[in-house]
Structure 1
Amino acid sequence: MKYFYFFFILSVFSTSLFSQTHTISGYALDEKSSEALIGCNVYVNNLKKGTSTNAYGFYSITLPESKDSVELIISYIGYDLKIIRFILTSDIKLNITLKPTSEQLEQVEIKGVRNRENVESTKMSVIELPAKQIKELPAIFGEKDVLKALVLLPGVQSGREAFAGFYVRGGGSDQNLVLLDEAVLYNPFHLFNFFSVFNSDAIKNVQLIKGGFPAQYGGRLSSIVDISLKDGNAREYHGEGGIGFIASRLTVEGPIIKDKSSFMISGRRTYLDLLVNALNPNPEDGGGGVYFYDLNTKLNYKISENDRVFVSGYFGKDVLYSEIPSDSMLFQIDWGNKTLTSRWNHIFTKKLFSNTTFIYNDYLFRIIIERGNTEAKLLSGIRDVSGKIDFDYYPSLRHKIKWGFHHTYHTFIPSLVKGTRGTTPIPFPEYPQKFVNHSAGYINSDYSFSDVISLNSGLRVPFYKYKNFDYLNFEPRLAMKYSLNQTSSIKLSYTRMDQFVQLVTSAQETPLDLWVPSSDKIKPQNADQAAIGYFRNFNDNKYESSFETYYKKMNNITEYKEGADIFLNPNIEDFILFGEGWAYGGEFFIRKNEGRVNGWIGYTLSWSMRQIDGFNIGNEPYPAKYDRRHDLSVVAFYNFNKKWSFSAVFVYGTGNSVTLPVGRFSDPSYGWDPYFSWYSDYGYRNSFKMQSYNRLDLGIKKTVVKKRFTFVESFDIYNVYNRRNPFFLMNDKMYDPKTNSEKWMLRQFSIFGVIPTINFSIIF
């Protein structure tokens, strides 16, 4: 390692000594709030080359000295273009501010210089969604949901109707790494996966990575969802509140010291339980309900021009309870996440940027039963303490290097039972906690050999240790871009990913599922993924499009033996089955980011298969549960004027795979009971397809500005034409008028028809 630092330092000095260059560096910021702009494009028009800001809004460009004027063109979705011209005779520190576009009308046209990152960068299988666009989507019950927005993108599939669970390129839901300000969220859902834990009012940016993973990311096989919270307005106090069908929310942000430090705090809570209990005519007979709340907070402080610190946190919980006061009885299930992230940004030189992060995150699930003076609790969860340091180095306009080191100390709580009768503890079997160390070092280089060929190469080296089991692996990362011309390119990528934590579940993922670590009995999952794509921009870069094909091979994937107990099982590893999976397909995506009319179309053609030892006769492969041949999403936004805007979403998908009985047999010990004496004989796993799914959602929004207040009324219609989409299938005895008798028939259950929702918000 010491030789690496020696050659790195040597390269820094050699760049300065033997080349006549100067560096322009700084931050790209929102003009009104001083929020850092992530992924903002800084384009050198003279050289037809550019860069983009990092996760903290920092950029660095090194150019040859010239007596000619340098023209920088800065662009970002939802902001006006900006042009800066100057003579470069020395290093310049330049903080750039962009003005938000008040409404998405046509921006000033500058031919050929709009965002060209789609065709010029080595990135592929990456899509970013600004929070502003997510909030424009029509939503069920008025809750604008980050994760539900992701399923409208190609390569991402929803689980069940209206639920926020998602599956990427044939992987499982536990194979998605969800990050909030760099903290891992092990359960990013509320209300049994119905909503995500992300309050859209507190979100700044959402990035989805499906393949071509940069080396700084690891730990999951299928995707990275990297979500950034707002830093807080450093110039003015602002707030936003809203009342919806099932929840209310409030966000407040503002400067602590103007242009130096700021805060953001955002909270929301559902209130159906309060309404139900308030309307209960006999509260003495008992009551109950289900609700969730979450709170996002963030502070940041600019210590100097080269140093900034950030502290952010998330605190959320779901509660399902039932109580009978007359019997002094309470039954409660609750689960929730807590995260705390502290970060320090430091600029060593105009070319070298670092970020040091400390993270605490905790996911806990509990069952509580109380009766009289007796109480019993069952707990399960996972707790992480992490530290990481990352460096961004910009040797030249053609070259970026990123490297770092991460370490996490995991504490797994598989099952913990506590009980008291009065003040006397009740003895229960003890299930020991599991302690794991997980480290990784990485390096990533993005280099442009010419205007035609660019190569992004990286290596991640994870090291994992649990008891006497340790694991060291090498994860190569490779991406290449070949430009056909100024508007189109071909890209290739290959990545290898490892996953050391497994979600143990016997059915649809719920809060009752358990996270368990890899061990000598549970091998780490791994996946190799290769992709090739054609990328093209149209109409002076107003439209960006791509077509990608991919193949992914997954090893050591897990399934749980059906019928086995998950909780209070000291030998849970013995009930896990192992196998392999593979997924492949093609994805088409076209998007228009600006103008009065904008939106996107995404289409996916895909296959996803599994082969698990112990499933099916002869362990034959079978379709994954969410193997869908076709998925189509059409998203459109139309701004009539400053007051009125319209949005529409249409989705179509092939039906989910299900396992159904192929016959029935009786058990005489039940006395030939018409229901209980019959058992189902199931066929091959997931060998049947449900009906296809399709839905149209519409939304209209009215915005009225009165002095310092902005009033927003939203009217959304979910499932406009009341399509009865299948939710699940069940065999049931039903009356058959043809035979005038009862017979076993397959019955489809649907949950959501047409649902209109009104939402009121105020911005101040």
Structure 2
Amino acid sequence: MRFRILFLLLLVKPLVLWAQQVTLYGYIRSGATNEPIPFAYCVDSAGNSYVYSNESGYFSLMCNKNHRIKFGYLGYEPYYHSADRDSFITIHLKIKEIEEVKIYRREKLYLQTLMGKTNISLASLTSAPTFVGLPDVIKHLSYLPGVVSGKEGFSNLYVRGGGRDQNLVLIDGVPLFSYNHAGGLVSSINVDGIQNIDFYKGGYPARFGNLTSSVLDMRMKEGNACQRKYKLTIGTLTSSFFTEGYMLNKTTTYALAIRTTYFDLLNLPKYIKYLDTVAYNAALSETDGVSYKSYNAFDINLKVVHNLSSRNKLIMNFFSSHDYYADVTKRIYKTYNGGYVDAEYDFKQGFQQANYLSTIGIKSLIKDRVFLSNYVSFSHYSNRFYRQSYEREIDTLQRKQSEFSTISYFSYKSEIDYYPIEWDNLKIGFELANYRVLPYTKSDYRFQHTTNVDTVVTMRINSAYHPVLFVENEIKASTTLAVNVGIRMDVFSNGHTRYYALEPRLSVKKMVSPQSSVKASYTYNKQYLYSVLHSFLGLQKEIWLLADSNIRPVEAHQWSLGYFGIYHDFEFSVETFYKRLSNLIDFKPANVLSQNTVVASDKIYTNGIGESYGFETQLSKDFGNISSSLSYTLAWSNRRFPEINQNQWFPFIYDNRHVVNFSFHTPIDQFWSADLSFVYMSGQPFSLPVGRFEGNSYFEPYWIYASINNYRLPPYHRLDLTFKRRWMSKKKHNKTLKLNIYNVYNRKNPAFATAGDGTVNIYSIYGIIPTVSYEIEF
């Protein structure tokens, strides 16, 4: 009898406990702007239950009835709610009442299930010293262990030994194929319009694909539903304008960011001289003639959100960036044509580059714990390089040469975000994408008074379809064990060539103490897009290729293991990784000089393999308003191609053995603050010739190389400083004055090397660069 009573109690007790469980779900928003807050925390203060909101600010938490739930986010006052019944709620968090909120780190790394994920602090991004005084997302990532930006001053990404084209850069889930201005000196991503940035260098979740190195996932601001705001920034080389607000009885919000350069002002006197008839005619007969250079760039971000109901919203996003460069020269010279006569020479060369990206979609909470997103997206990148020259004697000789290439992306994507229970988050998604690549070359040579016409037009359209299905599940198996597991299934169809793939993804986190964890991850990725840099008139242009019957998709396996935690208020991370790459490609040097963008399989090296491995560690601490971070990377990255270097391994060009980064932020007084950053890197490899063949009357001389990347440049190091003064005017406008000093001690860092007659000449590009900017918010 007693046994039956005990069995009955054991059977009933779980039902009673289940009956005492309630579910809270809804959105967490900013009380100041009504924008959703991604990755805000929801904690059962009386138990061990906690969740984070997703990128839309949505959360779902199962907890014990009548428990007190704490909602919060760094920079906001915590909010408490009593869980007395199942309910849908919207939480509005209040911003802390302090002069300036500095948020240098968000979700603690040891709590994240995913390995290799970092949430980038916008406060540290905007206050950190930069190359020309502009906050730069891409350059800022180089302060993370395992990431370098390539050549000095350039905004490129090389992550754990991967190439610059092996990164997936997303704006609201849509790929951006080129993310730079000025040939790579400045990122085209305006920080003013960004709400959240997540960076993945390992442990990629299954929802991301077509990459082998990293994911940069950026979400744009949705706009302020409470008030209209404006921000104007005037800098040394650029100016920007940002505004956000609401329309239509606050059911619609918008956020608009515009930025432009004024490099043209530096050459304004020469341009005026070019336009002035008297000065122009006088200058034509001078040795150098009359000339000017023109460069301009701008970018624009626009996002509009319309709330169809409390559970549905319509989202529209638009991004565009443009670059224009021109180099013009005109002069008069003497030529012999039965006697000396004046001849006019007219020369013009330059490039144009454009990005367009657009999205329209609907996000819906279709039922409790089920979130549905549907998007139609478009992304397009194009570049055009040209050269024109005219020589006017008896005949007018017209010479034209131009190169034009594009890549376009069209996509429909549907994703379900499902929270069946508190410790389980299931994502299921489908995408159908189409890629189109169009390289185009045209050369046109004409004589005005003759019939000699030579026109060459080469064009090839390459189109591929890419259907994808993914399943991703993050499970908290216990209070100490969490797993993110997923699979990505895709087909890449380019004409008669098809590639199939199953890409498993796994990240495991084990809590070993209340404030530390061990993580491990394995990912397998395929990438069907390639980008190669091609030389045209001394300028580098980007050409995109699709995997086909001759060029196989890149494959990458990556294993990672790490230890994360907090000790005496110091947050630390230690990671080790190994990455294996296959089916790499590279341009053959002879064809780089051929100036033809139509790339065939016989013009590139194929079947390359690579491997990268290393150790990464980072230590950071916040001392109230003072914060600092120190990171160190020890890594190796090598390549091997059957047709290069006698099929022997050689170092990757950005194989920096040791990399050290240090950053520091401190307030000076009530108005002033200072930021410092220091970087040290081992020298990059380069190829040094061992001899020279002088040639003869039939052959040009050329250098002889024993191996590729057989020497290294001297080490690179640099110190940057930023001083910022922030105050409020009598009209309650926030104002900021920023002085940025790049390369404080004017270090002549090595950029490249050339071989002379028994000597090696090392060249540097940039010295100290001071810039000033002024901001006003109203």
If the length of structure 1 is used for normalisation, what is the TM-score?
Answer: 0.89
Letter matched to residue 304 of structure 1: S
Letter matched to residue 315 of structure 2: F
Q: 1:441/1:642 Cα in 2 relative to 1: closer, same or farther (>3 Å)?
A: farther
Distance in 2, matches of 1:418 and 1:437, equals 32
Describe how 1:146-161 pairs up with structure 2 within 5 A: 146-161=137-152
Q: 1:188/1:115 Cα in 2 relative to 1: closer, same or farther (>3 Å)?
A: closer
Kept in 2: contact 1:34–1:259 (CA 8 A): no
- Which residue among 728, 732, 744 is the counterpart of 2:758? 744
Tell me the residue number matched to 1:334. 352
For these two proteins, the number of residue pairs brought into alignment is: 721
Tell me the residue number matched to 1:761. 775
Kept in 2: contact 1:369–1:375 (CA 8 A): yes
Tell me the residue number matched to 1:12. none
* Residue 74 of structure 1: how far off its partner (Å): 1.6
Q: 1:746/1:125 Cα in 2 relative to 1: closer, same or farther (>3 Å)?
A: same
Letter matched to residue 548 of structure 2: S
Q: Where in structure 2 are there 5+ consecutive unaligned residues?
A: 1-14, 275-279, 281-289, 331-343, 391-397
Q: 1:682/1:329 Cα in 2 relative to 1: closer, same or farther (>3 Å)?
A: closer
* Residue 200 of structure 1: how far off its partner (Å): 1.5
Deviates more, 1:593-602 or 1:122-131: 593-602
Tell me the residue number matched to 2:375. 357
Q: 1:124/1:104 Cα in 2 relative to 1: closer, same or farther (>3 Å)?
A: farther
Q: Relative contact order: is structure 1 or structure 2 higher (C-alpha 8 Å, sep ≥ 6)?
A: 1
Describe how 1:501-580 pairs up with structure 2 within 5 A: 501-505=529-533, 512-539=541-568, 542-565=569-592, 567-568=595-596, 570=598, 572-577=600-605, 578-580=607-609
Distance in 1, matches of 2:272 and 2:187, equals 33
Distance in 2, matches of 1:41 and 1:641, equals 32
Distance in 2, matches of 1:471 and 1:677, equals 44
Letter matched to residue 582 of structure 2: N
- Which residue among 403, 416, 429 is the counterpart of 1:391? 416
- Which residue among 301, 308, 311 is the counterpart of 1:306? 311
**Is 1:216 matched with 2:239?**
no
If the length of structure 2 is used for normalisation, what is the TM-score?
Answer: 0.88
Kept in 2: contact 1:550–1:585 (CA 8 A): yes
Distance in 2, matches of 1:205 and 1:343, equals 19
**Is 1:441 matched with 2:439?**
no
Instruction: Output the aligned Cα RMSD.
Output: 2.7
Tell me the residue number matched to 2:395. none
Tell me the residue number matched to 2:688. 660
Helix, strand or coil: the match of 1:26? strand
* Residue 178 of structure 1: how far off its partner (Å): 0.7
* Residue 173 of structure 1: how far off its partner (Å): 0.5
Kept in 2: contact 1:29–1:95 (CA 8 A): yes
Deviates more, 1:388-397 or 1:88-97: 88-97
Distance in 2, matches of 1:456 and 1:686, equals 39
Tell me the residue number matched to 1:400. 425
Describe how 1:312-711 pairs up with structure 2 within 5 A: 312-324=317-329, 330-369=348-387, 377-417=402-442, 428-505=456-533, 512-539=541-568, 542-565=569-592, 567-568=595-596, 570=598, 572-577=600-605, 578-592=607-621, 595-617=624-646, 619-669=647-697, 678-706=701-729, 707-711=731-735
Q: 1:594/1:357 Cα in 2 relative to 1: closer, same or farther (>3 Å)?
A: farther
**Is 1:51 matched with 2:47?**
no
Distance in 1, matches of 2:725 and 2:49, equals 41
- Which residue among 76, 79, 85 is the counterpart of 1:83? 79
* Residue 81 of structure 1: how far off its partner (Å): 3.9
Letter matched to residue 38 of structure 2: I
Kept in 1: contact 2:29–2:90 (CA 8 A): no
CA deviation string 1:729-748 (max 9, x = no partner): 1123xxxxxxxxxx531111
Helix, strand or coil: the match of 2:38? coil
Letter matched to residue 699 of structure 1: T
* Residue 657 of structure 1: how far off its partner (Å): 0.9
Q: 1:437/1:714 Cα in 2 relative to 1: closer, same or farther (>3 Å)?
A: same
* Residue 366 of structure 1: how far off its partner (Å): 0.9
Distance in 2, matches of 1:270 and 1:86, equals 52
Helix, strand or coil: the match of 1:513? strand
Tell me the residue number matched to 2:335. none
Letter matched to residue 564 of structure 2: F
Q: 1:559/1:369 Cα in 2 relative to 1: closer, same or farther (>3 Å)?
A: closer
Tell me the residue number matched to 1:129. 120
* Residue 406 of structure 1: how far off its partner (Å): 1.2
Kept in 2: contact 1:23–1:351 (CA 8 A): no
Tell me the residue number matched to 1:38. 38
Tell me the residue number matched to 1:262. 253
Q: Where in structure 1 are there 5+ consecutive unaligned residues?
A: 1-14, 108-113, 671-675, 733-742
Letter matched to residue 613 of structure 1: P
- Answer with 1 or 2: which has the greater Rg: 2
* Residue 281 of structure 1: how far off its partner (Å): 6.2
Letter matched to residue 416 of structure 2: F
Helix, strand or coil: the match of 1:393? strand
Letter matched to residue 312 of structure 2: D
Distance in 2, matches of 1:532 and 1:472, equals 29
Distance in 1, matches of 2:236 and 2:297, equals 14
Distance in 1, matches of 2:101 and 2:625, equals 4
Letter matched to residue 624 of structure 2: G
**Is 1:163 matched with 2:157?**
no
Distance in 2, matches of 1:49 and 1:471, equals 43
* Residue 590 of structure 1: how far off its partner (Å): 2.3
Kept in 2: contact 1:193–1:510 (CA 8 A): no
**Is 1:716 matched with 2:710?**
no
Kept in 1: contact 2:543–2:597 (CA 8 A): no
Distance in 2, matches of 1:663 and 1:329, equals 38
Task: Among all aligned residue pairs of Structure 1 and Structure 2, give the percentage whose two residues are the same amino acid.
Answer: 27
* Residue 505 of structure 1: how far off its partner (Å): 3.1
Q: 1:371/1:480 Cα in 2 relative to 1: closer, same or farther (>3 Å)?
A: same
* Residue 487 of structure 1: how far off its partner (Å): 0.5
Distance in 1, matches of 2:470 and 2:578, equals 24
